[in-house]
Amino acid sequence: MKLTFLGTGTSHGVPVIACDCAVCKSSDSKDKRTRSSAYIQIDSKDNSHKYILIDVGPDFRTQALRENIRQIDAVLLTHSHADHLHGIDDLRNFSCIMSNKPDNPQNKKYDRPPIPFYTNEGTASDIKHRFNYLFSEKAFGGGHAKISLNPVAKTFTFDTIKITPVPMMHGPLETAGWLLTENTPEGPRSIAYLTDCNYISDESIELIHKECGLENGGRLVHLVIDGLRIKEHSTHFSFLQALEVSEKIGGDHIWFTHLTHNSSHIQTTAYIEEHRAEFPGLATALSILPAYDGLSISTVAE
């Protein structure tokens, strides 16, 4: 299983419009942060690959072109804020697409089944209300993305992996973190993607540990955690809070995402290194770093 960070920025993105700060003016490519999203490749039952998108923000078109995304088999949504959802119309290219594959030499348009969306009940209800045209049989013009909404509250199977929604709080809003677990000859291997949160309950942490199969040789290979900035925030983890909750959750490799323009990649890396010793439980982590756009991580050593 491989995860590519399509975006690692907060709702403003980096650089921020009309900002002349050092990070927004930085020439370091790791300081260019589009809105947070991830793209996951899994090994499929038919010996091919399936592809899962986590969130579809307003930068999705740019991200998809940059990473040459050609296939989306499912979407996992954390919540319905604009920076995680407002690229939804661009998914129409994946549900009714112009293909240049050998079996379609004339580049003819063909229909595909609706893309399954998985999220919590509140987000599903919000999508139906705000994007009602997606579900109308009377849509006209350039067409629209064909999606099927699937509210989920428990672990489910998608092709060869288990997917677990992890309840979290983003201020007053309940969001869904996502735990993806694959079986390998060495045991279960997992990636947790937990963004847009400032509180994760003990029950949710226990759920992660259980579904990872930690008591049966399972490993949480990668923990992706919301880490907004140094200063505390009302709806996101600060860097220190992210380290604190990461100590409780564990993980071989820990990655901060949803980053602001308040710290550069280099500054964030240095801050983490300076403070990680304050959390003894993180001593076993192989790495704790800020993620960056285009970074790919895998459950298998490459």
Give 120-143 pLDDT, tens digit per residue.
Answer: 999 999 999 999 888 877 655 556
- Domain 2-298: what homologous superfamily? Ribonuclease Z/Hydroxyacylglutathione hydrolase-like (3.60.15.10)
**Which of 17-21, 106-110, 219-223, 234-238 is predicted least confidently?**
106-110
Measured CA to CA, the distance from residue 149 to residue 93 in angstroms comes to 18
Model confidence at 291: pLDDT above 70: yes
**Which of 116-130, 133-147, 234-248, 267-281 is predicted least confidently?**
133-147
Amino acid identity of residue 63, one-letter, is Q
What is the pLDDT, as a whole number, of residue 93? 85
Buried b or exposed e, range 117-153, using 16+ CB within 10 angstroms: bbbbeebbebbeeebeebeeeeeeeeebbbbebeebe
**Beta carbons of 130 and 163 less than 8 angstroms apart:** no
The percentage of residues in the chain with a pLDDT greater than 70, rounded to a whole number, is 91
**Beta carbons of 177 and 192 less than 8 angstroms apart:** yes
The model's pTM is 0.94
Sign of the dihedral through C-alpha 8, 283, 286, 182: negative
Measured CA to CA, the distance from residue 152 to residue 209 in angstroms comes to 19
What is the pLDDT, as a whole number, of residue 168? 99
What is the pLDDT, as a whole number, of residue 100? 44
Section 152-171 average pLDDT: 98
Model confidence at 147: pLDDT above 60: yes
Model confidence at 169: pLDDT above 50: yes
**Which of 81-85, 144-148, 242-246, 250-254 is predicted least confidently?**
144-148
> What's the angle, vertex CA 16, arms to CA 18 and CA 56, rounded to 5?
135
Considering only residues 93 and 19, tell me which one the structure prediction assigns the higher pLDDT.
Answer: 19
Q: How confident is the model at residue 302 (pLDDT cuts 50, 70, 90)?
A: low
What is the pLDDT, as a whole number, of residue 111? 62
**Spans of all domains in the chain:** 2-298
Section 78-87 average pLDDT: 98
Section 25-52 average pLDDT: 97
Measured CA to CA, the distance from residue 100 to residue 58 in angstroms comes to 26
Section 12-39 average pLDDT: 99
Q: How confident is the model at residue 160 (pLDDT cuts 50, 70, 90)?
A: very high
Considering only residues 144 and 293, tell me which one the structure prediction assigns the higher pLDDT.
Answer: 293
